[in-house]
Amino acid sequence: MDSVGLGGVRKAFTFELCAETVEACEAARLGGADRIELCVHLKVDGLTPPQEMIARAVADSGLRVHVLVRPEADDFRYRREVFARMRAEVVRAKELGAAGVVAGVLNEDRTVAVEAMRELVELAAPLPVEFHRAFDRTPDLCRALEDVIAAGCGRVLTSGGAADVMEGAAALSGLVRQAAGRIEIAAGGGLRVENAGRLAAMCPGLHYHGTLGGAADGVDALAGRVRQVVAALRAAAAS
pLDDT grade for 10, boundaries at 50, 70 and 90: very low
pLDDT at 11 over 90: no
Residue 85: which domain range?
Answer: 3-238
CATH of the domain at 144: 3.20.20.380
- What is this structure's pTM? 0.93
Residue (of 224, 172, 214, 208) closest to 41 by Cα position: 214
Please enumerate in sequence order all residues whose Cβ is within 8 A of that of 108, keeping only pairs 6 or more positions apart, or say none.
Answer: 77, 78
- Measured CA to CA in angstroms, residue 124 lies from 29, 101, 136, 234 at distances of 25, 7, 23, 31
Res 237: pLDDT: 87
CA 161 from chain centre, in angstroms, equals 15
User: What is the secondary structure of 76-92 as a DSSP string?
Assistant: SB--HHHHHHHHHHHHH
User: What is the secondary structure of 135-189 as a DSSP string?
Assistant: GGGSS-HHHHHHHHHHHT-SEEEE-TTSSSTTTTHHHHHHHHHHHTTSSEEEEES
- Measured CA to CA in angstroms, residue 23 lies from 38, 110, 209, 218 at distances of 12, 35, 17, 8
pLDDT at 201 over 80: yes
CA 224 from chain centre, in angstroms, equals 20
Instruction: Say if residues 67 and 93 touch (Cβ distance below 8 Å).
Output: yes
Instruction: Count the Cβ atoms, other than its own, within 10 Å of residue 99.
Output: 16
The total of structural domains in the chain comes to 1
Res 239: pLDDT: 82
Res 209: pLDDT: 98
Distance between CA atoms of residues 176 and 129, nearest Å: 18
Distance between CA atoms of residues 114 and 105, nearest Å: 8
pLDDT grade for 73, boundaries at 50, 70 and 90: very high
Residue percentage of the chain with pLDDT more than 70: 95
Distance between CA atoms of residues 134 and 103, nearest Å: 9
| Chain mean pLDDT for the chain | 94
Residue (of 50, 40, 37, 158) closest to 100 by Cα position: 37
Instruction: Say if residues 27 and 215 touch (Cβ distance below 8 Å).
Output: yes
Average pLDDT (198-215) is 95
**64-68 vs 129-131, strand pairing mode:** unpaired
Res 5: pLDDT: 37
